[in-house]
Amino acid sequence: MNIDELEKKELRQYLDFLFWHYRVVDSFWYIFLEEEYGTDVANHFNEKVWRRVAGIAAKDIIKRFGIAEKGLAGFVKALDYFPWKIIVDYEISWQDDAVIISVPHCVTQESRLKRNLPEYHCKDMHYGEFEGFAKLIDPSIKVECVHAPLDPHPPERFCQWKFTV
C-alpha cells in the first residue's frame, strides 16, 4: 500500500483504522498496568502519560498547522487537529467567554458498564490531558472539570469541561 495513492474514501478508512488502534493500545496499556500494579498506580501513570502526550501533541499541532492564535479561539482551532477530539467526538460549544467540551459517549466508560464494571475514575487523567494541551496553546487558559467519572453525571453525558482565560 502506498498511502499517497489512496483515494479520499480509502484514506478516511485508513485514518479510522489508525484511530481505532490508537485507542486499543491506550486501553490495553491501562488494563495491563492496572492488572499488574493496581488501579491507583495505573491512574497515576495514565495521568502523567496523557498530560505529557497532550502537551507534545499541542506543540506539534501549533508547528505543523501554523496555529498562531492564542486564547480560547486558538485552543479550539488546535483541538480540531487533536486525535482524541476526533476519536471521542467531543461536543464543543461557546458559552459567554468560555469553551465547553461535553462527552456524550465514552467508549471506555460504555465498555466498562457493558461488562458490569464500575465507571473508571478518569477525571485526573483528563484534567492533565486538557491542561497539558491548553497551556501549550496559551498559558492563561484555565481548565475546570464540571463533572467527570466518578462524579455523578446526567445520563446524556459522561463528562463536561469548561475552559476560560
Tens digits of residue pLDDT in 30-66:
889 989 999 899 999 999 999 999 999 999 999 999 9
Domain borders along the chain are 38-164
Q: How far is CA 151 from CA 24, 73, 146, in A?
A: 25, 29, 9
Residue-level pLDDT at 4: 87
Cell of 157: 453525558
pTM, full prediction: 0.89
Confidence at 112, pLDDT banded by 50, 70, 90: confident
Residue-level pLDDT at 63: 97
115 or 55: which leads in pLDDT: 55
Confidence at 130, pLDDT banded by 50, 70, 90: very high
Domain 38-164, CATH among 3.40.50.300, 3.40.50.620, 3.40.190.10, 3.30.1380.20: 3.30.1380.20
Q: How far is CA 105 from CA 36, 50, 88, 90, 134, in A?
A: 28, 19, 7, 9, 22
What is the average pLDDT across 105-115? 85
Whether pLDDT at 135 is above 90 = yes
Whether pLDDT at 137 is above 80 = yes
DSSP symbols for 86-136:
HHHT-EEEEETTEEEEEES--HHHHHHHHTTPPPP--HHHHHHHHHHHHHH
Residue-level pLDDT at 110: 85
What is the average pLDDT across 140-158? 94
